[in-house]
Structure 1
Amino acid sequence: MTSKKQNADFLHVGEKLLAWYRTHGRDLPFRNTRDPYKIWICEIIFQQTRISQGLNHYNNFITRFPDVQTLADAESDEVILYWKGLGYYSRAINIHKAAQQIMNDYGGNFPSAYEDILKLRGIGKYTAAAILSICFGAVLPAVDGNFYRVLSRIFADDFDSSSSKAFNYFSELALMMMPKNEPGHFNEAMMDLGSEVCRPRNPKCDECPLQTDCLAYNLGLTTKFPVKSKRTKVSDLELTYYFVEFAGNFLIRQRGDDFIWKKLYEFPNEIRDDFKDNISHQKTVTHQLTHKKLTIHIYKVSPDDEKLFLEFASEGGFTAISLEGSHGKSFPKPLENYLTTI
């Protein structure tokens, strides 16, 4: 059981962090708003994308979809297109569906209750806490990988950060430090500290405002934390695609909601027997996803009969499109890269 004195000491650490943040916090466009829609979009974009890589994408997305209704009313293809370059396209699909939920279930007003926000497609505990603390002043830690790393080092705590109980465990530690009058700024400060100073490798301990309070640093064990026992299991998957082209047009089809690359466009993955004399191997590439290592074989198929080309398109539900026209579609990265070589 933590004593009141210990709680006061931990709160002092949180106040030091806030003082550092007021001087060193990053000047970002979404830091100048408390609009829950914009905070939501920025949190989803930057969950798996560095600020430097995703800032232009955020600005372009918000310019095109400035509010919930604009996003909800858009075609899914356009939403995915504006996500192009960020990867993890399921996030774009989820925010589009969540925007429609907000319009249908909450009259277009972003919900302000934790349970209601968690009902939105693609929003978990971290994102809900970030929105509520930043926009509504709720005393909730937005616990993510940055929090696990910073807190485990400060407390030299070997609790397994890959455990299903890690979110609740580190939330309790964060609450000991969180000044109750500035929960949003505290969460943003933790994000900045974890991203810019308390990095996974080569942490900048000499620049850390919490250096004297950090048990891991004082014990010379900074790189030993956080502890993570579970490793992501990666499976191998082999895919074959056929770039079927006739008179400057090639065939594409949109993927469904299942498996990988949801709603993106792809080439045919099988061909007619009477096309096999027109095949040439183009390239084999590898591509890494979170849980899968892909080996992708791409073949070029150039049928010499327009009728057969159109029949194949009709039978397989494919659309014939020009290279210029394909710029308005979103493809998996390996196929997008292939199109740049044509």
Structure 2
Amino acid sequence: MKSKKQNADFLHVGELLLAWYKIHGRDLPFRNTNDPYKIWICEIIFQQTRIEQGLNHYSRFIHRFPDVQTLAEAENDEVLLYWKGLGYYSRALNLHKAALQIVREFQGKFPENYNNILSLKGVGKYTAAAISSICFGTKIPAVDGNFYRVLSRVFADDFDISKSKAFLYFSELALRMMPENEAGHFNEAMMDLGSEICKPKNPKCEICPLNKECLAFSLGKVHEFPVKSKKTKPTDLELTYHYVEFNGRFLIKRRGDDFIWKRLYEFPTEVPAEFKTEIVHHKTVLHKLTHRNLTVQIYKVILNSEEIFKKFAEENGFIITDLEESHQKSFPKPLENYMKWIEDEI
């Protein structure tokens, strides 16, 4: 299908969107501030988390780490603890690294320049644009999945969003729609429209403020947009863990910075052959990550010798803990759920 965006009045569409947003925009706690630190935290939290699920996490995180300096001075473990339940823990680690970067490179003051914001660990083009536009008025669109979906539908534009040039293409399209001095509100309006009305499935076209201008809607082809040809097929991965217990205490170790679940705690992945005679049960847990389908095998091993238990821990660098103490550490979701199951069985 040939793009029909030349038939639209770009600025008019942008003004309609803003008019709708000023009446129907979501009342969110981070909408009442221009503090770049708070906007940064909320953007990182809500990248992979729905608003209603993440609001309490956002409030707790900001309460404990109210500014860059506080976050930079915190220990990794505590940052991960306050991130617990949000998943994608690399986001929390990158927040901590970026806070240290701001202290080191920008004297503790959050950078105002788009390129400087983009240089922060874990900050991509979308997040840098959101902070830059909302907090500093920079005329730059915060292009993400919402932008791709709304713009491709409104203009019945079949530009493949999986292509490397899609970000630049839709950025230029959005700039033509963006009213002067309204970059932050325009970006927030696009976020709200995409998440509340112009949804991937079951869009609420009948109440959309742009439905009269939407070419895909008028053609009855809303579900054909956006066009995306390339889709990464998730790979299958099997992991094995051993919950090694003696007298109510068990063994854990912190993961490194390579592979998945960076810096989280886990159970032993390998145990001596003689331990396997002490296995009392086995659970198989299925878990999905963005690009991986995990099958996690967990074996519960109850040892009858404290000496063997402590020797194995010492020789292999494991920490001896219990269920109550483990609440102060962060684990991959399958292991966290397993420990909850153990607690319920006690």
For the aligned pair, the TM-score class normalised by the smaller chain equals: over 0.9
Change (3 A) 1:172 1:7: farther
How big is each residue's C-alpha offset from its partner over 1:124-155, in whole Å with a ceiling of 9 and x where there is no partner? Answer: 10000000000000000000000000000011
Q: 1:83: which partner in 2?
A: 83
> Any conservation in 2 of the 1:80–1:89 contact (CA below 8 Å)?
yes
How big is each residue's C-alpha offset from its partner over 1:214-241, in whole Å with a ceiling of 9 and x where there is no partner? Answer: 0100111101000010112211111110
How does the TM-score come out when normalised to structure 1?
0.97
Alignment of 1:155-166 (within 5 A): 155-166=155-166
Distance in 2 of aligned mates of 1:8 and 1:215: 9
Q: 1:263: which partner in 2?
A: 263
Q: 1:189: which partner in 2?
A: 189
Q: 1:229: which partner in 2?
A: 229
Partner amino acid, structure 2, of 1:152: S
Distance in 1 of aligned mates of 2:68 and 2:243: 38
Q: 1:3: which partner in 2?
A: none
> Any conservation in 1 of the 2:8–2:213 contact (CA below 8 Å)?
no
Give the secondary structure class of the aligned counterpart of 1:257.
coil
Alignment of 1:244 onto 2:276: no
Which residues of structure 2 form unaligned runs of 5+?
1-5
> Any conservation in 1 of the 2:155–2:216 contact (CA below 8 Å)?
yes
Distance in 2 of aligned mates of 1:23 and 1:112: 29
Q: 2:3: which partner in 1?
A: none
Q: 1:141: which partner in 2?
A: 141
Q: 1:317: which partner in 2?
A: 317
Give the secondary structure class of the aligned counterpart of 1:37.
helix
> Any conservation in 1 of the 2:8–2:155 contact (CA below 8 Å)?
no
TM-superposed deviation, 1:8: 9.0
Give the secondary structure class of the aligned counterpart of 2:140.
coil
Partner amino acid, structure 2, of 1:166: A
Q: 2:63: which partner in 1?
A: 63
TM-superposed deviation, 1:267: 0.2
TM-superposed deviation, 1:174: 0.3
Partner amino acid, structure 1, of 2:157: D
Alignment of 1:304 onto 2:301: no
Q: 2:208: which partner in 1?
A: 208
How big is each residue's C-alpha offset from its partner over 1:166-199, in whole Å with a ceiling of 9 and x where there is no partner? Answer: 1101001100100121100000000000000000
Give the secondary structure class of the aligned counterpart of 1:94.
helix
Q: 1:290: which partner in 2?
A: 290
Distance in 1 of aligned mates of 2:192 and 2:96: 28
> Any conservation in 2 of the 1:61–1:83 contact (CA below 8 Å)?
yes
Give the secondary structure class of the aligned counterpart of 1:251.
strand
TM-superposed deviation, 1:276: 2.3
Give the secondary structure class of the aligned counterpart of 1:20.
helix
How big is each residue's C-alpha offset from its partner over 1:6-36, in whole Å with a ceiling of 9 and x where there is no partner? Answer: 6992111101100000000000000000000
How big is each residue's C-alpha offset from its partner over 1:54-106, in whole Å with a ceiling of 9 and x where there is no partner? Answer: 11111111011000000000011110111111110000000000000000110
Which residues of structure 1 form unaligned runs of 5+?
1-5
Distance in 2 of aligned mates of 1:269 and 1:277: 16
> Any conservation in 2 of the 1:7–1:176 contact (CA below 8 Å)?
no
> Any conservation in 2 of the 1:7–1:177 contact (CA below 8 Å)?
no
Distance in 2 of aligned mates of 1:255 and 1:37: 29
Distance in 2 of aligned mates of 1:93 and 1:264: 10
Sequence identity percentage: 72
How does the TM-score come out when normalised to structure 2?
0.96
Partner amino acid, structure 2, of 1:102: I
TM-superposed deviation, 1:165: 1.0
Q: 2:154: which partner in 1?
A: 154
Q: 2:52: which partner in 1?
A: 52
Distance in 2 of aligned mates of 1:164 and 1:297: 38
Q: 2:39: which partner in 1?
A: 39
TM-superposed deviation, 1:274: 2.6
Partner amino acid, structure 1, of 2:45: I
Give the secondary structure class of the aligned counterpart of 1:239.
strand
Partner amino acid, structure 1, of 2:126: Y
Distance in 2 of aligned mates of 1:154 and 1:139: 21
Distance in 1 of aligned mates of 2:20 and 2:341: 48
Distance in 1 of aligned mates of 2:13 and 2:57: 35
Distance in 2 of aligned mates of 1:280 and 1:65: 42
Distance in 2 of aligned mates of 1:31 and 1:45: 15
